[in-house]
Amino acid sequence: MGRSDVCLRGKDLLGLQNMEPAEIELILDTAREMKTIIDRDIKKVPTLRGKAIVNLFFEPSTRTRTSFELAGKYLGADVINITTSTSSVVKGESLRDTLLTVEAMGVDIIVMRHAAEGATQFAAGIVKPLLINAGDGAHEHPTQGLLDMFTMREEKGSLQGLKVAIIGDILHSRVARSNIWGLKKMGAEVHLAGPQTLLPRDIDTLGVQVHKRIEEALEGADVVNVLRIQRERQQKGLFPSAREYARIFGVNKSRLALAKPDALLMHPGPMNRGLEIAPDIAYSEQSVIAEQVKNGLAVRMAALYLMLMGGNQVETIN
């Protein structure tokens, strides 16, 4: 598929596994244009005026939910947040009925986060509004993968040939999967390291290099992407203690020095400082963690715009 054949209008955004490289490229190029709106004094354009977006989050979120809300609002759409703890879900309303209720209000896009893998795909099969997967279990978090790739491309010029080290809790990480699928499509080399107990069983099918020691993964890396230890999904004691994890797999100053001198330090957030990442490097010179948050807004603006308005050339949005 070439750039001239790409059109995301009317398509769901469920994951990067089945996305074409040209589609990814279109979103990243459009995000660059969207980023200029965020830097304006008046961050509001009428592009999506009259469109309605619902954020339907069954799991907590700060970055994703807020940035989707701002993305819609900056583009002129109406945006409503449904937090399940204050919705009729607590009265026992099912996912299907919740979706049908939202659909009945005539919304155009539902942005959904759910603990179950495949939940957004299930939703897309039930209701007419377009669906964006804002994280489904340990499966995918496509807009995080896109914002991570956008950040790498902005900083390094291209994704082709980059050595990207992804460190930590791969097993529970939808961020890791979206990064792996996206980065490989765009020509990057992905290296993983984490405790054996936090690696998925299908790791050998993902086309990545897996290292037993974190040092091997970090050696000469262009990007170090540190994953959050998902304490909320660790009931089985998958590593001995926090102190032990930080000692063997924590990214600190001396380990970061194994990567290239100009390597980027990334983390999707929220961070467990002192566990997977040392506090003194979290916002150091090499860190682009704050830029990732800003880029997340630009990428989500691009996704909403392309899904609702289409087009395959990057236009100046006024």
Q: List residues binding ligand CP (CB under 6 A).
A: 61-64, 141, 144, 268-270
Residue 141 bears catalytic tag: yes
Would residue 153 show up in a list of annotated catalytic residues for this protein? no
By beta-carbon proximity to ligand CP, the closer residue of 47 and 64 is 64
Question: Would you say 101 or 234 has its CB closer to ligand CP?
Answer: 234
Q: And the tokens for 258?
A: 């194994």
Q: What's phi and psi for 274, nearest 5 deg?
A: 90, -5
C-beta of 69 vs 108, nearer to ligand CP: 69
The DSSP-derived string for 67-114 is: HHHHHHHHTT-EEEEEEGGGSGGGGT--HHHHHHHHHHTT-SEEEEEE
**Cα 103 to the center of its chain, rounded Å:** 25
Q: Please, what is the minimum distance in Å from the beta carbon of residue 134 to ligand CP?
A: 7
The answer to whether 35 is a known catalytic residue is no
Kindly name the residue from 35, 65, 113, 184 that is annotated as catalytic. 113
Residue closer to ligand CP (CB basis): 230 or 252: 230
Catalytic residue chosen out of the listed positions 35, 114, 141, 191: 141
The vertex-28 CA angle with 226 and 12, nearest 5°, equals 95
Where are the alpha helices (H) located in the chain, listed in sequence order? Answer: 21-38, 63-74, 95-104, 119-124, 142-156, 174-185, 214-218, 242-249, 253-256, 279-282, 289-309
Q: Least CB distance from residue 98 to ligand CP, whole Å?
A: 20
CB 273 to ligand CP: min, Å: 15
In the complex with ligand CP, the residue whose CB is nearer, 64 or 98, is: 64
Is the Cβ of residue 272 or residue 312 nearer to ligand CP in the bound state? 272
Q: Which of 91, 201, 205, 316 is catalytic?
A: 91
**From CA 261, how far away is CA 259, in angstroms rounded?**
6
Q: What are the Cα distances from residue 233, in Å, to 4, 65, 174?
A: 43, 20, 12
Min CB(144)–ligand CP separation in Å: 5
Identify the active-site residue in 30, 64, 84, 143: 64
Q: How many CB atoms sit inside 10 A of residue 133's CB?
A: 27
C-alpha Rg value of the chain to the nearest Å: 19
Q: Does residue 63 have an active-site annotation? A: yes
Handedness of CA 100, 102, 105, 110 (dihedral sign): negative
7 contacts 304 by C-beta, under 8 angstroms:
no
* Least distance from ligand CP to the Cβ atom of residue 280, Å: 22
What's the min distance (Å) between Cβ of 145 and ligand CP? 11
Q: How many alpha carbons fall within 13 Å on the CB side of residue 295?
A: 25
Helix or strand or coil: residue 237? Answer: coil
Catalytic positions, please?
A: 63-64, 91, 113, 141
